[in-house]
Amino acid sequence: MVVPQPIQNQLKKEAFYGCVICGCPVLEFIDFTLTGIQVDKPPPRQEVFLPENMVAICPSHNQKLQAGKIDTTFLRLSKNNPFSKIHDDLAFKTTSSKELTVSLGGCTFINTSRLLVVDDFDLINVRRLDQRFLILDVNFFDRSNKLAAILFENGWSSERSRIGDWTIEYLRPKRLLLQNSRENMNLEARIENDTELRIVGDGLYYNNQKIKITPHEVFLGDREIGIDTKGSVLTNYDVGIRAESLIF
């Protein structure tokens, strides 16, 4: 089922942009009147979406819910008192009022949303919404150039048949970890000192070239990219690191 974008936005906002149970900023949108023990059956086809019966939760808690390990009464309570509202200090947001600082591959970008762009295709974007919550877009391509998963404005969609390959954790304090065991893919987005977002990752691909992001370098295939901006602090740039997958 595809939940219409305006309803997704409403559910994200009321959840303070995190899973209502754990604060994880990777979200799925579910109708808790339709859930239960139905692991082996496909979810019922849904055509009407009532936000009052729906909630934003992370994929891990969604799996627990589908396995019958989470009570819908508890879910309803959490909807009304989401984690990121109660635990303001653990919500995926920064405290600095004006600027968004991101550290990526040895470079610091301030107020730059498009962080990593290859062949004019945006692979990693980040921006801030009201109350300084961080909103991520990440396209996870695998080695055969297929989209394994998409994180779009914190909404998660992955290939349904392979959902078990992903482990998505929100660790304290403010450390988001996404791992795909089958593809050896991982991405970490961590807010440090409540002010700076640091991103590292490995095993993501674009156009069959592996992307590796360490605290000091970004590699596309065996080439280091973003060398010209390395070690600098760049403010209000259109694109952080831009590269081409083919060199002529």
> Is residue 61 near Zn ion by the rule CB under 5 A?
yes
B/e letters for 184-207, b = 16+ CB within 10 Å, e = fewer, are: ebbbbbbbeeeebbbbbbbbbbbe
Cβ 116 to Zn ion, closest distance in Å? 26
Stretch that binds Zn ion, among 15-23, 145-153, 174-182, 216-224 (CB under 5 A): 15-23
Q: Please say which residue, 70 or 107, places its beta carbon nearer to Zn ion.
A: 70
Stretch that binds Zn ion, among 13-21, 39-47, 160-168, 194-202 (CB under 5 A): 13-21
Cβ 86 to Zn ion, closest distance in Å? 14
Total Cβ atoms within 10 A of residue 157 = 13
Stretch that binds Zn ion, among 11-19, 99-107, 195-203, 214-222 (CB under 5 A): 11-19
Cβ 189 to Zn ion, closest distance in Å? 16
Q: Give the span between the Cα atoms of 8 and 41, in whole angstroms.
A: 24
Query: Pseudo-torsion of CA 166, 170, 176, 182, nearest 10°?
Result: -10
Amino acid sitting at position 58: C
Q: Please say which residue, 25 or 240, places its beta carbon nearer to Zn ion.
A: 25
Query: Is residue 140 packed enough to be buried (19+ CB in 10 Å), middle (13-18) or exposed (0-12)?
Result: buried
Cβ 44 to Zn ion, closest distance in Å? 23
Q: Which residue is nearest to Zn ion (CB)?
A: 19
> Is residue 22 near Zn ion by the rule CB under 5 A?
yes
Count of alpha carbons within 13 Å of 74, Cβ hemisphere only? Answer: 11
Pick the binder of Zn ion from 11, 24, 185, 220 (CB under 5 A).
24
Q: Please say which residue, 22 or 185, places its beta carbon nearer to Zn ion.
A: 22
Tokens of 100: 């968004």
Residues 105-164 that bind Zn ion (CB under 5 A): none
Q: Give the span between the Cα atoms of 115 and 248, in whole angstroms.
A: 24
Size of the site for Zn ion (CB under 5 A): 6
Cβ 103 to Zn ion, closest distance in Å? 26
SS3 214: coil
Cβ 75 to Zn ion, closest distance in Å? 11
For the CA atoms of the chain, what is the radius of gyration? 18
Which residue ranges make up the site for Zn ion (CB under 5 A)?
19, 21-22, 24, 58, 61
